[in-house]
Amino acid sequence: MEISIIQALLIFVVAFIAGIDQFSFLESLYQPIVLGPAIGAILGNFELGIVVGGAYQLVQIGSMPIGGAQPPNAIMGTIMTAVFAVSMNLEPTADGVGLAVGLAIPFAVFGQYAVTLTFTIMSGLMAKADKAAEEADPKGIAMVNYIEMCILGVLFGALAVAGVYGGKLLGGTLRDFSFQFSWVMAGLDAAGGAMKFVGFAILMKVMMSGEMWGFLLAGFVMANICQNIPAISGATLLMCAFVGLAVALYDYQTQSKIKASAGSFVGGESDGI
């Protein structure tokens, strides 16, 4: 896979914007499900980019910072997963991308180092923002924020371009390595595949409450039934999503009616209200 100057510049721009978006824009442009297709299109394999984005989104979905502990960065992880998947000519399937996910995790850690470095630099500039606030100088406060955005964006852009060129060279070596030591690659593939389930399990541990288990079990049964009916197996995920949306809308409407009737003396004492 040859990386042209135009491709490198486009990747720099995308990483620059995504790096800022994760803390400032908050438009979810940095999410793997959005970033993966963009990088895939730049590298010339949009389909693989979609699969990469979906696979890494599952890895990242349950990751969240807790105190000083920061999870691997989603931006660099997604970019490098796409680079490894394209450079190694992996199949556009979840199983095929699992190997690339495992290889990309160290780069995702480097991405988090860029965030930590930016925060460290900016900690010394916060005094200027405080002083600008005391002097009622909104331009001074805005300038501090613009400096932070530029530092973070440039760091992510530089890391992404360096990772792309390094991944291109490393991809061929890893492809040859995979033929000689297939058991190592099989282990990385298994680890990358397992990380998706770990990420989702972490999310469930945070979000799941006792009243939600019924919906989980119902969704599990529905997914298995649909998956084993050839005529509709290809749309299993979409069908489950629509059923979940219907349940959510019904619950929202029910809760809205309850809140609207609260204090309106509807129902009387016999209803327990």
d(C-alpha 175, C-alpha 123), whole Å: 43
Q: What is the pLDDT of residue 9?
A: 92
3-class SS of residue 29: coil
The reply to whether the predicted model has a pTM over 0.85 is: no
Q: Which residues contact 110 (CB under 8 A, 6 or more apart)?
A: 73, 76, 159, 163
For the chain, 273 residues long, give each residue's pLDDT as a single digit of tens. 677 889 889 999 999 999 898 888 778 888 888 998 999 899 888 888 888 888 888 777 766 665 455 677 888 888 888 888 887 777 776 666 777 777 777 788 788 788 888 888 888 888 888 888 888 888 888 898 899 899 989 999 998 888 888 766 665 555 555 556 555 556 655 655 565 566 667 666 666 677 778 888 888 898 889 888 888 888 888 888 899 899 889 988 888 888 877 655 555 555 555
Residue with tokens 């049964």: 221
Whole-number Å distance between alpha carbons of 228 and 251: 29
Q: What is the pLDDT of residue 63?
A: 65
Domain range summary for the chain, segments of one domain joined by +: 5-207, 208-262
DSSP letters for 139-171 = HHHHHHHHHHHHHHHHHHHHHHHHHHHHHHHHH
Q: Which amino acid is at 190?
A: A
pLDDT score, position 13: 93
